[in-house]
Chain A
């Protein structure tokens, strides 16, 4: 009698999965680590792990289509003579001209203005397209100081001192030479075609005490009119927020690790920082411990996608949220209509992240004039406005169900968590229990 070994099913390693194998091969062949845009793609504890507790008997809901639920927010009430008043608590995050096309920047400005909110400049400085179409514009003061100009500082409605961002706390950036057009080169005072290294730290201050004096300088230059935001990457949110408040910030922006970037190392994006969900409560705690909650406003960003995310961030104590990647998607980034061209770039709609290569079929993350011309800034701006309004309506719907007549009245008690991890990070009870890991006894 002959025995044959029965066939077995090939088994791939969970550790060495297909993506990991392809990255090893790519590194071995090219000698370059992967540089890409966007934020962390790995699965992280997120707002999806929280649920709202709609009102029944113990709480009293508001009528969905009849009773008002306000959405306005004022940012910069601590020192600024002219705080920013927004209709909705969703702002557009800083994204640079250079990384984005002029058409994309215009679309963001148009969309934000239609929805009653602000947009933000980026590493490349302020463009006329953006200033001209943004009713409220936040001017970023970045370590690279590319395009930094006191005239633009004065033309801004607020100034955001960027210390770090969620995709790369402690890291700088690299805009590869292929995206450096004549205009980008001129704005950044560098020759065309060479890599633009964005510094990881400000060149003229080295710590929180220096930051305090830097803020004084900017306030003096702008006659104390503009709110001063300080943006930090979500790594040590309690201490960074506390120090930003001490330094005199009017507004603190905490960007979790799902926050996007124009281009940096994949290894950095996926392995440095903390999830957005984990950053909010420590940031709020810092403000509360300093008796500054609601006096210094907190903006949270990093992977915000829907009205539910907005409502959850606000319920955990944020005053507003900021969106970057979602705004790009709203104006057409990674749209399946360009699938054929994404395929030519060895990717697919929804996965395209080589923004630094400047070949974006959607005309958004590019400086190629033919590609950029594909984006109609008026139509794209309308799409962004629609998206922002839908997010706001969604957040209002949830807030009313929780009995709130203002989005800012949402609170942690309106939430429970689906996982122990999310319960611990958000400091809300695990669903079906009164247990908040680390806060209450099991």
Chain B
């Protein structure tokens, strides 16, 4: 079956509704039997996994900022006609700093974002893999075949997003498969299934893009100018991401590269330069034999 027969599937991660519960991290570990790699206190925020790696296929970033919290008000930009927020009847209490006054309190907000492999349209990891262990599935996603991967580690520095990584104890690389096994059975990926706020949405990429455009428009109308889509544009350096994001700040704040480019874009030029250098070497050494016989 060719990729053309089926719609391309992907993720749209709307970080504006992420509550940082890490359900996706846990669901991913559970479903994919990803080994435990130590829940280390990183001493920088509530982030205890640090970043994507061989044993962290979903990573929730926590960013503390001195900025107005208003932009994170739940219900902002709700589609018209959606029901109002439900009172869960939780015991109420005074918020910290309420009695101290607004000046004392200062501004503060959390940005949370669940990061994952981008399943790039032009995937550097897939391009550089010398064994063909990485392949593009019928869903348009990028998956490692663990029985072929040979642990050369080439894909690791090739990925412009810092996603794929080598597992210490088995020497092979691992990353999000977009739950290839679940997709084959008509199920949605574990993380999207577990996400309680629908921050992680799974579906046909075209539909997700339309949905994302809608959401950004709503947020802009609600006055949240900082909302932007990341990885949505099919004309960007990687041809657009199969997993893209709605962010509330610059990508680098979330640990994402601002303008990633697939490394193989320059490869034809690299081969040309290498060919020229090889010719120079041959000509140069040949020249050393000309002239004086000494």
Is this pair of chains taken from one and the same complex?
no
